């Protein structure tokens, strides 16, 4: 995002699908006043917190799920982003199609999703109950593992092509929590550098690696005709 924004003279329109409390964007938006940000989020409570977190910035938070984003906004964006949300999305093809509708012809869709974290510990209950409730029309507790093959097939069906695929969030990131606050930014820079380097080694990703790499991260664009 930073690269894109810099290349565009600090200007961009960003649509965040499943923005939650919008904490990913508070700092970026306060340092880049020419960015216009729209977040779309089905939880009313999270929308309220997002509006609070982004107070005074050029932003709009819409209370809705992402399937109807284009109908609600009637606007196309330079960047559409979806962070740690897709694993909670029940109607996955509709969600990707909504992202495609909202993306400018030369824009980018940045999507990452948690690959493995919810497979461990107490999450098993949500993994069981979420899909059952979603079948009954209550989608908000849904979460399900995203198989690589399934994701790539949906991406193709929705009319996107993959520009970049990476895997991040090895356990090393957890060390962050025990580092003195003043050293945390430096740690995060090193961590990112390390993860980017890991990705350059040519390790082919498969579903079995989900517990090692906590997230899958893609940059998508419209499929070329």
| C-alpha closest to that of 102 among 160, 45, 59 | 160
Phi-psi group of 110: left, alpha or beta (phi > 0 → left; psi -120 to 50 → alpha; rest → beta) = beta
Closest approach of ligand SAM to the CB of residue 23, in Å: 6
| C-alpha closest to that of 134 among 144, 120, 124, 119 | 144
Closest approach of ligand SAM to the CB of residue 88, in Å: 4
Coil, strand, or helix at residue 212? Answer: coil
Closest approach of ligand SAM to the CB of residue 179, in Å: 21
User: Could you tell me the end-to-end alpha-carbon distance of the chain, in angstroms, rounded to an integer?
Assistant: 25
Closest approach of ligand SAM to the CB of residue 1, in Å: 13
Minimum CB distance to ligand SAM smaller for 12 or for 98: 98
Minimum CB distance to ligand SAM smaller for 5 or for 61: 61
- 6 burial type by CB count under 10 A (0-12 exposed, 13-18 middle, 19+ buried): exposed
Minimum CB distance to ligand SAM smaller for 65 or for 167: 65
Tell me the C-alpha distance between 132 and 173, whole Å: 33
Minimum CB distance to ligand SAM smaller for 95 or for 191: 95
Minimum CB distance to ligand SAM smaller for 64 or for 152: 64
- 224 burial type by CB count under 10 A (0-12 exposed, 13-18 middle, 19+ buried): exposed
Minimum CB distance to ligand SAM smaller for 5 or for 89: 89
Token output for 140? 């908000």
Tell me the C-alpha distance between 38 and 169, whole Å: 26
Question: What is the gyration radius of the CA atoms in the chain, in angstroms?
Answer: 18
Closest approach of ligand SAM to the CB of residue 22, in Å: 7
Closest approach of ligand SAM to the CB of residue 19, in Å: 6
Closest approach of ligand SAM to the CB of residue 42, in Å: 5
**Residues lying near ligand SAM in the complex (CB under 6 A):** 17-20, 23-24, 41-43, 46, 65-66, 83-85, 88-89, 95
Minimum CB distance to ligand SAM smaller for 85 or for 167: 85
Tell me the C-alpha distance between 161 and 109, whole Å: 10
């Amino acid at each position: 995002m930073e690269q894109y924004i810099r290349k565009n003279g600090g200007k961009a329109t960003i649509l965040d699908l499943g923005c939650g409390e919008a904490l990913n964007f508070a700092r970026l938006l306060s340092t880049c006043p020419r960015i216009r940000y729209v977040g779309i989020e089905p939880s009313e409570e999270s929308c309220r917190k997002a509006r609070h977190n982004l107070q005074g910035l050029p932003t709009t938070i819409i209370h809705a799920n992402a399937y109807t984003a284009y109908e609600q906004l009637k606007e196309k964006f330079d960047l559409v982003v979806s962070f740690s949300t897709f694993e909670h999305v029940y109607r996955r093809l509709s969600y990707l199609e909504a992202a495609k509708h909202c993306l400018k012809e030369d824009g980018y869709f940045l999507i990452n999703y948690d690959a493995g974290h919810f497979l461990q510990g107490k999450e098993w209950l949500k993994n069981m109950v979420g899909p059952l409730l979603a079948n009954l029309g209550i989608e908000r507790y849904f979460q399900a593992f995203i198989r690589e093959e399934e994701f790539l097939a949906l991406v193709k069906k929705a009319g996107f092509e993959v520009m970049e695929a990476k895997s991040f969030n090895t356990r090393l990131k957890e060390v962050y929590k025990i580092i003195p606050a003043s050293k945390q930014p430096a740690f995060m820079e090193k961590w990112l550098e390390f993860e980017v380097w890991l990705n350059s080694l040519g390790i082919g990703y498969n579903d079995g690696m989900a517990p090692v790499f906590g997230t899958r991260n893609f940059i998508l664009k419209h499929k070329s005709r």
